[in-house]
Structure 1
């Protein structure tokens, strides 16, 4: 699987930013998100158990907008 850079949080410092990538999987469309690991006890309680091999991350709204733009560009 390959990962293609889409964009990063414009407010983060170089090398320390939440980032979004698209994968080249052929069985389904997937993305890789790099974000801040959630450590807040209340947020983790609200989410509930996290399966082995998964993590809860936080990413800014600006990074999610990049996902929306990626989809829009594909449709045109």
Structure 2
């Protein structure tokens, strides 16, 4: 599996860059998100138990726009 860079938070500093990648999995469409690890106790309580093989990350809305752009391009939206 490979990851294709889609974009990073334009307001982030070097080394602290929430980023979104698309994978080339053959069996399903997936994305890899790099973001800030969630440590806020209230958020963790609101979400509830997270399996040991998973983690919660926080990413800015600006980063999600890269997903929306890719989705629109692949599905012919906006033509």
With the length of structure 1 as denominator, give the TM-score of the two structures: 0.96
Where does residue 62 of structure 2 map in the other structure? 62
Query: Please, which runs of 5 or more residues in structure 1 have no aligned partner?
Result: none
Report deviation, 1:53. Answer: 1.0
Does residue 10 (structure 1) correspond to residue 14 (structure 2)? The answer is no
Deviations 1:12-65 (Å, cap 9, x if unpaired)? 012321000000001000000000000000000000000011000000000011
Return the alpha-carbon distance in structure 1 between the equivalents of residues 39 and 15 of structure 2.
21
SS for the counterpart of 1:44 is: helix
SS for the counterpart of 1:66 is: helix
Superposition RMSD in Å? 0.7
